[in-house]
């Protein structure tokens, strides 16, 4: 189903530890739940909207924000690493020119040091 692939592709970018096929399979379970719980009527939302919400909820359970880190590269050359939850609150207050990357906590320290140019042994 194209809608499952479209939503799964967005969530697959958030966590490298979660396989795209796992998201697709979870999406099919969400489709079944959607048809089980959807109540049609003149005031209810479209089934595609309801399915979209169910897919996002299912994928959010798999790609937890607790398992992600934000790597921030400031314009002056400094870098910082913080939890994704903390980053979501601080994102609007970042100075102009700051760039960010969201990565999984499941990457190795060497890989993180290479991506963020941060030395954890300091």
Same domain, 89 and 103: yes
Give the domain range for residue 10: 2-63
Same domain, 58 and 79: no
> Has residue 121 been placed in a domain?
no
Q: Which of 10-24, 27-41, 60-74, 94-108 has the highest mean pLDDT?
A: 27-41
- Across 66-87, average pLDDT: 84
- Across 84-105, average pLDDT: 83
What is the percent of the chain where pLDDT is above 90? 14
Is residue 105 within 8 A of residue 87, CB to CB? The reply is no
Is residue 68 within 8 A of residue 102, CB to CB? The reply is yes
**Number of compact structural domains in the chain:** 2
Is residue 38 within 8 A of residue 49, CB to CB? The reply is no
Residue count of the chain, please give it: 122
Distances (CA, A) of 49 to 38, 53, 54: 11, 6, 9
> Has residue 122 been placed in a domain?
no
Same domain, 50 and 95: no
Q: Where among 21, 44, 63 does a domain terminate?
A: 63
Strand blocks (E) in the chain: 68-73, 79-83, 99-104
Same domain, 6 and 56: yes
Per the model's pLDDT, the better-predicted residue between 10 and 1 turns out to be 10
Residue 29: pLDDT band by 50, 70, 90 thresholds? very high
> Has residue 79 been placed in a domain?
yes
What tens digit of pLDDT does each residue of 30-62 get? Answer: 999 998 988 888 778 888 888 988 998 888 888
């Amino acid at each position: 189903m194209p809608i499952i692939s479209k939503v799964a592709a967005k969530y697959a970018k958030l966590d490298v530890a979660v396989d795209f096929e796992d998201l697709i399979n979870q999406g099919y379970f969400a489709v079944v739940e959607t048809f089980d719980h959807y109540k049609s009527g003149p005031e209810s939302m479209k089934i595609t909207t309801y399915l979209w919400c169910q897919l996002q909820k299912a994928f959010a359970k798999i790609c937890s924000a607790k398992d992600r880190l934000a790597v921030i590269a400031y314009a002056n050359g400094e870098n910082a690493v913080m939890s994704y939850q903390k980053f979501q609150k601080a994102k609007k207050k970042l100075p102009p020119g700051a760039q960010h990357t969201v990565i999984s906590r499941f990457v190795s320290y060497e890989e993180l040091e290479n991506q963020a140019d941060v030395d954890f042994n300091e």
